[in-house]
Amino acid sequence: MAEKVFDLLNEMKIEPNQFTFTVLFNACAAFNNDRIMKIGKKLLTEMPENYLNNNITLTSAFNMLMKFGDVESSERIFGSIKAKDIITYGYVGNGMSEKTLTLFEQIDIELDDVTYIIVFNACAQLCNNQAMKIGTKLLAKMPENYRNDNIISTSAIDMLMKFGDVKRAEQ
């Protein structure tokens, strides 16, 4: 189905705008195969330069490239995003937990439920001194209202169990 959309777009010779690019990048990320990968990368190279100021479009391009496993290109896109947020989930999804934690320490973001889950999952995957330090510090600072969230709690418990801290995980 997605490939038919790309065929139709190609036949109609429509010039995509920034919203169309966002939708197309998201579609490419969802239907990752060789043909779609070529289309997505071609769209990215053809995207007008003024669209590079749109964080939503860039975030969808970043996500697409991470789904393709093209970390190098993703990092270039990430570097050009002005308002960095928790799009670093792409690193966790591609087994790059160390990069996730490094970026988490570098960017100043407002912590929300998604941030806690992503960072706890990255810490659990990495499970080294850096991860233990970041994970336990984040857990200690976490507001009470997030402690009652089942998904966040499960992520924190998983992290603590992987750290071998059964006692704290039980609490």
Query: What's the confidence (pLDDT) of residue 139?
Result: 94
Neighbours of 24 (CB within 10 A): 25
Say yes or no to pLDDT of 87 above 80: no
* More confident call, 128 vs 27: 128
- Residues 6 or more apart from 102 whose CB is under 8 A from it? none
In whole angstroms, how far apart are CA 81 and each of 65, 98, 144?
Answer: 14, 20, 32
Q: Which tens digit of pLDDT belongs to each residue from 42-60? A: 989 989 988 888 777 887 8
Asked whether 90 and 122 are in contact (CB, 8 A), the reply is no
Q: Which of these, 131, 155, 129, 130, lies nearest to 142 by C-alpha position? A: 155
- The Cα 116–Cα 150 span in angstroms is 12
Indicate where the chain has its CATH 1.25.40 domain(s).
Answer: 1-83
Q: Give the mean pLDDT of 57-76.
A: 84
CATH of domain 1-83: 1.25.40
Q: Which tens digit of pLDDT belongs to each residue from 103-136? A: 778 777 778 777 788 888 889 888 999 999 999 9
Say yes or no to pLDDT of 143 above 70: yes
